[in-house]
Structure formats: structure tokens, C-alpha cells
Structure 1
Amino acid sequence: MSGAEEFVPPQARLPGLRKAVQDCRGCGLYRDATQAVFGAGPETAWVVMIGEQPGDQEDRKGEPFVGPAGRMLDRALAEAGIRRSEVYLTNTTKHFKFERVSGKRRIHQKPSRTEVNACRPWLDAELRVVKPHLVICLGATAAQGMLGTSFRITKERGTVLDLPDHEAQVVATIHPSAILRSDDREAVYQGFVADLQVAAQALRSLQAG
């Protein structure tokens, strides 16, 4: 199939989009996932945070960022001075891509560029409804999806940029799951918080302006 566009109801608000995404067949990821995991948060949020894809616990519970990476994100947001209750959280793809190892254990697999592009109409619809002033991209998949494939997290993370084709600013940083995989979690975590503090300062400037 060519992508999700035919499954996205035109002009729908978040509740309509959240219901419709369960019927999406825009790529093959729906076949093995438990359910689609749509974004969560207020429709009036100033900030949209975009991750890569739902993880194992998100796939089971149907909500984004409720697993270990989500708990890491909660801690970092609080430390950076951004309230999660005021953030709309979503992912570039809405279904969990995984491989099964040792019985029931499911290991995350990175979505392909084709799968990310196929799912893009859902993310575009979320951005259309929420109209964020600031977008925070968590990880390379989200950052390259929003800023182009030449964007490099290692070089441009923690920098406030203009978001192409939107009246919003954008800050890219690592995905919180990268902290969990690191050999030096504390150092990587502090770098993550520093990036979020840059985003928090940009948000305060936008709200004051």
C-alpha cells in the first residue's frame, strides 16, 4: 500500500484520529502489533514531543511513553522544568515493530524509512490539530523525519531551529531509550536534560513573546 493517507479522516480532531488509526493498513506493521498507539496529551499543548515508535509496553497498553523510556522521560522533563501534562506525546510510527526472541520476549526493531513515510499522514494530522509552538524530536528517526535525512543528532542536538513548513521551533535530542542502553547512564542523562533545558528556555521565550 502507498501509505496511511487514505485512512486519515479529513479535518478530524484528536478523538476521531485516535479511533480511525486502529483501522490503518498503510504499511505492514499493523499485522504483528497488538494495536495502534496514537499520541496522548492536550489538544492545546504548546509542545509536541515526537519519538520513534511505540515500545513493548506501549503496544500492550495503547499509550505512548509508558515503559522504561517513558519513566526516564518523565524524570528528565521534571528536572528541565517542562510539565508532561502540558506536552503532547507521539511517535513517527504508530505500530510496534519488533522481532521475537527466546519465547515471548519482543525486541524493538527500527522502522524503515518507507514505514516512517507511510505513517507520516498521521503525524501531519496531529500537528495540524495541535498546532504546537515548539516540537522536540527524540532520536534520529524523529529528527530526520522532521528536518531531513541529512540532519545529525550528534552535531545539532540541543539547538533551537525553525521547523520547516510549520510556524514552530524545533529542538532535537536523543531518545530516552538511548540512556537506558548507555554504559554511562548518568553522563548521557545529564546531556539529555541539558537539551531539554534549552527547549524549556525556548518555550518560555515563546510564551512570553
Structure 2
Amino acid sequence: MTPSRFAGADAIERLREEAAACRSCPLWRNVTQTVFGEGAAGAHLLFVGEQPGDREDRAGRPFVGPAGQIFDKALAEAGVDRSTVYVTNAVKHFKFEPGKRRLHKSPNGSEIAACRSWLLAEIEAVNPRLVVALGATAAQSLTGRPLRVGASARRWTSTAADA
């Protein structure tokens, strides 16, 4: 499914509703729900993580688990109010190893590609000045190609849409 493009104040909410019905990859089968981005619709900063974790899947909100707590602390130390930014993930469903505890498993290229249109639609709707990739999966989704974080850290990179 390709997300529809919307303009206006309710663009993100309408995209969130569409994404909830997405069946473009098999990850949706074992999760609680789709975890879409959230934050200020006109944010100047947009942060992209890898995927929701167990707590995010259960809560239906991004960046609320242990990594989200570290993220919140980093924002606070930088003097950035989280309510002024937009946070999302490259992959909208939690990929995990089944078992007593649902342990995180990295998404593969086809799962990243399946969610890429949602991420690009979020970016279009928010229209931030700066998009920050928090890891290799986020960078791959944004650029359309695998990137090694160590080799790409602290460097400006164009998205595939910009090329």
C-alpha cells in the first residue's frame, strides 16, 4: 500500500490511520499495533529511530521504552523540549524473537523498504528543517541504501528523494 499524501493540520493523523491498516510486510502479524510517529506537526527537528521496541508496541507510541528514556535525557541535556520535535521510526512494527520475553530483532531490507513510504510521507507532512537518523536502519530508510554508521556519523547526507 502506498500512503496518500495529505496537507493541512490533520495530515499526520490521517497517515497514522492509513498506516494502521498496512500489510506490506509480515511484521504486522505478531505485534500489538502499528507504532506511528508523534510530536509537533510543524517541528523543525525530526528524529528517526530503527523500530518500536516491546514497550512502544504495547503503548502504541514511539520512544517510550529504555532507548526513549536515553533519548529524552539527551534532548534535555541539549536544551531541546521534546514537545517541539517529531519522533518516529523507520519501521512501524516491532520485530522480535518470540519467547517468554519478546527480544528485539533487527529489521531486514525488505521490511525497511516496506515502511519507507510511510516515513517519507511523515517527513513531507511535518516538513522539518533537519532530519536526524538515529542508527543504520534509519539512515538506510532515509537514503534508500545501506550506510555504515561509523563511516557516516556526523556527516550531512542527502536522502534518495533529494538525489
Q: Same fold (TM over 0.5)?
A: yes
**Quick one: higher RCO (CA 8 Å, sep 6+), 1 or 2?**
2
- Residue by residue over 1:18-61, the C-alpha shift from the partner in whole angstroms, topping out at 9 and shown as x without a partner, is 11211111111110010000000011000110011100000000
Larger % of helix: which?
Answer: 1
Match of 2:96 in 1: 98
Letter in 2 for 1:9: S
Q: Which residue of 2 aligns with 1:144?
A: 140
Based on CA coordinates, which of the two structures has the bigger radius of gyration?
Answer: 1
Equivalent pairs counted in the alignment come to 160
Separation in 2, partners of 1:163, 1:92: 13
Residue number in structure 2 paired with 1:196: none
Question: Secondary structure of 1:122's partner?
Answer: helix
Q: Which residue of structure 1 lines up, in the alignment, with residue 74 of structure 2?
A: 76
Equivalent residue number for residue 11 of structure 1: 6
Match of 1:64 among 43, 62, 71: 62
* Unmatched runs of 5 consecutive residues or more in structure 1: 167-209
CA–CA separation in structure 1 for the residues paired with 2:30 and 2:146: 31
State whether structure 2 residue 85 is matched by structure 1 residue 87: yes
CA distance in structure 2 between the partners assigned to 1:65 and 1:152 by the alignment? 23
Question: 1:108 offset after TM fit, Å?
Answer: 0.7
Name the SS of the counterpart of 1:64 in structure 2. coil
Match among 95, 117, 135 for residue 113 of structure 2: 117
Of 153, 157, 161 in structure 1, the residue corresponding to residue 149 of structure 2 is 153
Query: What's the TM-score, normalizing by structure 1?
Result: 0.71
Residues 50 and 134, structure 2, Cα contact 8 Å, conserved in 1: yes
1:134 matches 2:130: yes
- Report deviation, 1:159: 2.5
Percentage of matched positions with identical amino acids: 48
8 Å CA contact 2:116–2:142 kept in 1: the answer is no
Contact 2:143 2:158 in 1 (8 A): no
CA RMSD after TM alignment = 1.8
